Structure 1
Amino acid sequence: MQKSKLFNKLLLLLLVLLFISGCGNKAEDYRITNQNKIILRLAETRSPNYPSSQGAKEFAKLVEQKSAGRIKVMVYDSGRLGDEISVIEQVQFGGIDLARVSVASLVRYSPKAKIMTLPYVFKNSVHMWQVLSGPVGNDLIESLLKEKITCLTWYEAGTQGFYNSKRPINSIDDIKGLKINAQQSQVSIDWYLYLGASLVSTKASDLYSALQVRSIDGVEDNIIAYYLSRHYEVAPFFTYDEHARIPDMIIASRGTMLHLSQNDRAIIEQAAKESAIKQKQAWYEMEKEVLKHLHDLGVNIVYTNYQSSESFLSAVEPIYNSFKKEDLATIVNLN
């Protein structure tokens, strides 16, 4: 009788161990199909025709080509896997393999990303790409690796402007009192507060209706996002001031990359770099087309640069002062 009870207990323990073992391997094995193919998921928050989505699709195509169909990247656009913050968290523990995210969303994981969100820290696009390909960009990549995030490549994300439903913004004083939905970076939040705006956090999917019913007056974003979201229908005043150039990244889960063979990692890395070339081209072409369409639609676009205005300098000074001078010098003084 005792032997029977002991046998039953041992059998139960064995079943429990087998169950736990099966659960433990499930997270890794879901990527391998019956045909020994590898399936990876890539999260993209923008719409299917957005330049970064086009870049992600090119990346997926190149991976499949270079692996002779053995590796497939499934692109989930339009935020189907969550917003950028939740996506990055899932990338960290391997729930999502790959993602396209803004550097602004990575500030909480690396303080080194914060300096890239400063207003007018980059003189122009050429200056930004010099910085990203140099020590500053490499330092950020290394710091993210410690957070289980692998940077595969940089994507173009244009310049930030802002648009509103009330009036043209001809000076910084015109921003005072506006209810703005700003980018979710502390630098952007601080800047708008210093300028006298009120900040209202709204989900991206709710922005159109929020502008329509005037629960918010304006939004900070780039001109392509403005056009594709059709926000010009409810907020016809766009300020093209290029106050921030915040690049995007294609990131990968460190766990996923380590799980792949060295050859497969090389395929993923090379495909990402090659996709960035097409993504930049798609961005520049679409930006030109969008500006033309908006002009034809009669949208009021104010082209300006606040860098030399006294109001701007006063607003941005405390933000710049929160950074070490030597850190700023590595970017600002780069020729």
Structure 2
Amino acid sequence: MPCAGRGAGRRGCFRKGKDLVDRRRFLAGVGAACAVPFAGAPLLAATASGTVLTATDVHVKDYPTVEAVRWIGQTLERETGGRLRIRQYHSGQLGRESEAIDMARYGAIDMTRVYSGALNNAFPLTQSLCLPYVFDSVAHMRRAMDEGVGDTVLRGFEHRDLVGLAIYDSGARCFYNARRAIVTPADLHGLKIRVPASDIFIRMLRLFGANPTPLSLGEVFSGMETHMIDGAENNMRSFHSSRHFEAARYWSQSNHSYAPDVLLISKRSLAALTAADRELMIATARQSVAVMRALWDRSDSAARKAVVDHGVHTNEVDLESFKHASRPLLQEYLRKPELDTLYRRIRDLA
């Protein structure tokens, strides 16, 4: 029986019975793998009928990134006659993004889709994607990723036991809250706003005058209900799929970040495949970007209509005031030569 109740879709869940047992067994195996990081084989499972890779995502089952990875699995299964498959755990069933990153590094899971902001501290090149107002639009972000910037960032994962497969959209990140419309940074003063666990986002919110509160995505709704936080910042698709619009009635189109998502695979898991299967995996993952983008464009428009129909108040902001307030943060990070180089490449494609 599927999970029921208001929180089921937001926090993710397993069905009772066999699925619950499977989850416990899986997490027990994950714990053993992470306890001895470099001993034994990765979780990638070889069975009599072929190889099954495990993929995780904190988003719900119909989210574009989840559907794109599902498409990868279907393509691999078709191209290999069922010999290579992907088993997905969506809706945060196996934990937070920070946990998924470590599990993939240690080979306890094979693949994961994570937000680039969650990668900033361990993988510095991803900081270039999360700087405030580095991208002007979704089209600009896609152009930069397609014309070399994405490949440079993806190569930066290999020194820490991961391989970057693809970069997916994450839309325009904007502010939403339960208190008031945000037009200038002054309107954020005193508000407790959830941010991802990224130094860039924490410091950016402080420059805007807000009180940044790092929380996992699954804690945001209850945080707003209990008034632990006043709001958050995210893209419209996540605002809708997480049902945060039920608690936050104000959406302000700040567009302060277009930081994308990254699809990663354990270096050990990829190495365990045959050369032909590795090539197929990498090529299929790259092809999935177009699939994801088409899904994103349709679902983003539908999500916006749904939240407006629900009664959420939307407004434009004074973009120049936000850009001005975030400038000290941008200048500080651009003192790093590698980030300055990537920033200039991105801006040249604006």
Q: Tell me if TM exceeds 0.5.
A: yes
- After TM superposition, give the deviation of residue 320 of structure 1 in Å: 2.6
- After TM superposition, give the deviation of residue 175 of structure 1 in Å: 0.5
- The answer to whether 1:83 aligns with 2:96 is yes
| Aligned partner of 1:321 among 308, 332, 349 | 332
* Separation (CA, whole Å) in 1 of partners of 2:299 and 2:325: 35
- The answer to whether 1:159 aligns with 2:177 is no
Matched with 1:208 is 221
Matched with 2:17 is none
* Separation (CA, whole Å) in 2 of partners of 1:205 and 1:327: 32
CA 103–203 in structure 1, closer or farther in 2 if over 3 Å, else same: closer
- Whether the aligned pair in 2 keeps the contact of 1:104 and 1:184 (CA below 8 Å) is yes
- Whether the aligned pair in 1 keeps the contact of 2:166 and 2:289 (CA below 8 Å) is yes
Matching of residues 1-335 of structure 1 within 5 Å: 27-28=41-42, 31-35=45-49, 37-306=50-319, 308-309=320-321, 312-324=323-335, 325-335=340-350
Rg larger for: 1
**Structure 2 unmatched ranges of 5 or more:** 1-35
CA 298–110 in structure 1, closer or farther in 2 if over 3 Å, else same: same
**Structure 1 unmatched ranges of 5 or more:** 1-22
CA 134–69 in structure 1, closer or farther in 2 if over 3 Å, else same: same
CA 186–256 in structure 1, closer or farther in 2 if over 3 Å, else same: same
Count of residue correspondences: 310
Q: Find the residue that maps to 2:209 and give its secondary structure.
A: coil
CA 202–143 in structure 1, closer or farther in 2 if over 3 Å, else same: closer
1:108 counterpart letter in structure 2: N
1:76 counterpart letter in structure 2: Y
* Separation (CA, whole Å) in 2 of partners of 1:293 and 1:90: 35
CA 266–316 in structure 1, closer or farther in 2 if over 3 Å, else same: same
- Whether the aligned pair in 2 keeps the contact of 1:180 and 1:200 (CA below 8 Å) is yes
Q: Find the residue that maps to 2:315 and give its secondary structure.
A: strand
TM-score by length of 1: 0.87
TM-score by length of 2: 0.83
CA RMSD of aligned residues (A): 2.0
CA 312–141 in structure 1, closer or farther in 2 if over 3 Å, else same: closer
Q: Deviations over 1:193-225 (max 9, x none)?
A: 111111223333232122112111011111111
Q: Deviations over 1:140-175 (max 9, x none)?
A: 222211112111112111110111000111222101
- Whether the aligned pair in 2 keeps the contact of 1:42 and 1:74 (CA below 8 Å) is yes
**Greater Cα offset, 26-35 or 66-75:** 26-35
- Whether the aligned pair in 2 keeps the contact of 1:183 and 1:221 (CA below 8 Å) is no
- Whether the aligned pair in 1 keeps the contact of 2:44 and 2:110 (CA below 8 Å) is no
CA 253–305 in structure 1, closer or farther in 2 if over 3 Å, else same: farther
* Separation (CA, whole Å) in 2 of partners of 1:207 and 1:135: 35
- Whether the aligned pair in 2 keeps the contact of 1:64 and 1:71 (CA below 8 Å) is yes
* Separation (CA, whole Å) in 1 of partners of 2:43 and 2:165: 23
* Separation (CA, whole Å) in 2 of partners of 1:71 and 1:326: 39
* Separation (CA, whole Å) in 2 of partners of 1:125 and 1:231: 23
Q: Deviations over 1:116-153 (max 9, x none)?
A: 10111012222212222334322222221111211111
Q: Find the residue that maps to 1:74 and give its secondary structure.
A: strand
Runs of 4+ in 1 over 6 A off after TM superposition: none
Q: Find the residue that maps to 2:45 and give its secondary structure.
A: coil
* Separation (CA, whole Å) in 1 of partners of 2:324 and 2:124: 23
* Separation (CA, whole Å) in 2 of partners of 1:75 and 1:282: 18
Q: Find the residue that maps to 1:235 and give its secondary structure.
A: coil
- Whether the aligned pair in 1 keeps the contact of 2:121 and 2:198 (CA below 8 Å) is no
* Separation (CA, whole Å) in 2 of partners of 1:326 and 1:152: 22
* Separation (CA, whole Å) in 2 of partners of 1:166 and 1:182: 17
* Separation (CA, whole Å) in 2 of partners of 1:136 and 1:320: 20
Matched with 1:20 is none
**Greater Cα offset, 203-212 or 149-158:** 203-212
Q: Find the residue that maps to 1:241 and give its secondary structure.
A: strand
- After TM superposition, give the deviation of residue 314 of structure 1 in Å: 3.4
CA 201–30 in structure 1, closer or farther in 2 if over 3 Å, else same: closer
* Separation (CA, whole Å) in 2 of partners of 1:321 and 1:183: 20
Q: Find the residue that maps to 1:146 and give its secondary structure.
A: helix
